[in-house]
Structure 1
Amino acid sequence: MKSIQDAIYNWLTIKIVADARKDDIAAQDTEQFFYELLNEEHNIENVSVEKKDPMYYVHYEISGEVKKQQYPIELIDIMLEQINERPEYYRNYE
């Protein structure tokens, strides 16, 4: 991933899907993969997410320094909305 902003965006988007679809193994695995990238490539630790309309706020630390990114809810939730609208395309294959 090139930027911290892109890395967090990718992780947050799949995290929202994984949180909503606890039985979706692919979503769980993908969320874990992107979370590990946050730590390994960007040294991000202690990540937390706050949803406060109209934004998601992602709080995190890098080398002990607390930082925050924000993303519009509609931008992050779009993947989950697409899955919910067309569930036949997003079956959970175990």
Structure 2
Amino acid sequence: MKSLQDAIYNWLTIKIVSDARPDDTAAADTTQLFEQILADEHHVDSKELKRDALMYYVTVVQDGNTKEYRFPRDLIEVMLDQISQEPDKYITYPVED
């Protein structure tokens, strides 16, 4: 993924879904994938997430430099909203042993 901002956006979007659906293994796996991309491709050492009524704020440390990104909540929560509106289309499958 070329852009750090795009990688953070993708990570944050699926993290919100994963946090809201703790039994959703696909969301958890995808969150881990984007965390790995942030670490390996973008050298992000740490992430801090905050939100208010309108925005999500992600602060990252990349190669020793701190950067902050802002994303509108409606943009980030669109996937979670879609899942909530049509839950029958987004079944959480159990983990296979």
Scaled by the length of structure 1, the TM-score of the pair is 0.97
- 1:55 and 1:67 mapped to 2: Cα distance? 16
Query: Is residue 92 from structure 1 mapped to residue 92 from structure 2 by the alignment?
Result: yes
Number of equivalences: 94
Sequence identity, in percent?
49
Note the C-alpha offset of 1:56.
0.3
Q: Which runs of 4+ in 1 moved over 2 A?
A: none
- 1:33 and 1:11 mapped to 2: Cα distance? 8
- Per-residue CA deviation, residues 13-71 of structure 1 (Å, 9 max, x unaligned), is 00000000001010110101111100101001210110012110001101111110010
Which structure 1 residue ranges, 5 or more long, are not aligned? Answer: none
What secondary structure, in the 3-state scheme, does the structure 1 residue paired with 2:61 have?
strand
Which residue in the other structure is 1:27 paired with? 27
